[in-house]
């Protein structure tokens, strides 16, 4: 991939979840020989001086702790738009973000995280706990009938190549609808052929279909002790979805605290995809 010179962006609110994101991002930065940029968003311009001192202090400490280049910046705006805008400005390769879970009133924070994620063209990797290790050995890769599934294949290759990971494909249970089942098979075949052509190790399992595919995907990720779940977010997600919850929200706040890579689908999907994850 041609992402070595592109920085990794990490939003920080100076809490422990931001530290989780830094811990998770550090091995990616080292592997790509790139830097990390911490960004703190403020609502008012008069908050910038104090925030700048804090973010620079956090950046200096992270550089010492993880041995990677870390800088800090402050931007005035809203987390729901400014994070994505900053990523575009910096031409960032990835955004790592820490989030709280969905226990009690914290459910709103899960919705907020999703609302931030879907505003960016750049994939997010979401952490809600300190990673247990500094590598990604197993990637959980759910596949259903949606064409948008193909947009995440390049990113599976990107991560697998970086860490010599194995991709664990879980295809949805056989569908009664012939068209849906045909689309699942096409997506599965497409994924297998691509990974095989890139010499990426993989295996395939089939969901049981006793519960929702989203729930079974999380159960599968936990069963294989996955280090990363790779999903595509829903195209055209609505405000109602944020309030009531979605399968994506369930993934990024999963009870096993497995990091989740969220790839936002393009407005239109035609032809293939970029093997570099772009």
For 70-125, write each residue's pLDDT tens digit: 999 999 999 888 999 999 999 999 999 988 654 433 333 445 677 778 778 889 99
Among 233, 142, 144, residue whose Cα is nearest residue 187: 144
Indicate if the pLDDT at residue 129 is higher than 60: yes
Indicate if the pLDDT at residue 227 is higher than 60: yes
- The answer to whether 21 and 10 are in contact (CB under 8 A) is yes
Question: Which residue do the tokens 């955004």 mark?
Answer: 95
Domains of the chain: 8-98 (3.40.50.620), 138-263 (3.40.50.620)
Residues 15 and 55: their CA atoms lie apart, in Å, by 11
246 or 228: whose pLDDT is higher? 228
- Tokens in use for 144? 């259903």
Q: Dump pLDDT digits (tens) for 169-212.
A: 999 999 999 999 999 999 999 999 999 999 999 999 999 999 99
Indicate if the pLDDT at residue 165 is higher than 90: yes
The burial class, CB within 10 Å (0-12 / 13-18 / 19+), for 58 is buried
- Banded model confidence at residue 249, pLDDT cuts 50, 70, 90: low
Indicate if the pLDDT at residue 130 is higher than 50: yes
Q: What are the Cα distances from residue 43, in Å, to 78, 79, 83, 209, 226?
A: 7, 9, 13, 46, 37
- The answer to whether 185 and 218 are in contact (CB under 8 A) is no
DSSP 117-184: HTT-SSPEEEESS--SSSS--EEEEEE-S-GGGGGGHHHHHHHHHHHT-EEEEEEPPPPSSHHHHHHH
Q: What integer is the mean pLDDT of 244-270?
A: 73
- Banded model confidence at residue 247, pLDDT cuts 50, 70, 90: low
By three-state DSSP, how is residue 229 classified?
strand
Indicate if the pLDDT at residue 273 is higher than 70: no
Q: What is the dihedral of CA 20, 25, 26, 28, to 10 degrees?
A: 150
Q: Dump pLDDT digits (tens) for 15-53.
A: 898 999 999 999 999 999 999 999 999 999 999 999 999
Percent of the chain clearing pLDDT 70 (strictly above): 83
- What pLDDT, on a 0 to 100 scale, did the predictor assign at position 101? 52
**What is the average pLDDT score of the chain?**
85
267 or 276: whose pLDDT is higher? 267
């Amino acid at each position: 991939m041609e992402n070595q010179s592109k920085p990794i962006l990490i939003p920080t609110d100076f809490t422990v979840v931001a530290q989780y994101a830094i811990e998770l991002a550090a091995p990616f930065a080292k592997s790509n020989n790139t830097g990390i940029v911490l960004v703190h968003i403020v609502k008012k311009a008069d908050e910038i001086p104090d925030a700048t001192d804090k973010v620079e202090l956090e950046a200096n400490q992270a550089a010492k702790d993880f041995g990677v280049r870390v800088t800090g910046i402050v931007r005035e705006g809203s987390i729901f738009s400014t994070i994505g805008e900053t990523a575009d400005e910096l031409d960032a390769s990835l955004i790592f973000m820490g989030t709280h879970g969905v226990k009690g009133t914290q459910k709103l924070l899960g919705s907020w995280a999703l609302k931030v994620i879907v505003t960016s063209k750049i994939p997010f990797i979401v952490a809600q706990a300190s990673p247990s290790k500094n590598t990604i050995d197993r990637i959980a890769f759910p596949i259903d009938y949606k064409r948008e599934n193909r947009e995440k294949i390049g990113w599976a290759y990107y991560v697998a190549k970086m860490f010599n990971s194995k991709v664990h494909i879980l295809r949805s249970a056989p569908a009664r609808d012939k068209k849906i089942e045909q689309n699942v098979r096409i997506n599965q075949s497409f994924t297998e052929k691509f990974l095989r052509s890139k010499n990426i190790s993989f295996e395939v399992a089939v969901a049981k279909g006793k519960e929702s595919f989203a729930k079974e995907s999380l159960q599968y990720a936990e069963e294989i002790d996955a280090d990363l779940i790779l999903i595509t977010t829903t195209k055209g997600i609505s405000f109602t979805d944020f309030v009531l919850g979605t399968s994506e929200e369930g993934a990024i706040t999963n009870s096993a605290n497995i990091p989740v890579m969220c790839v936002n689908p393009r407005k239109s999907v035609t032809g293939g995809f970029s093997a570099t994850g772009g």
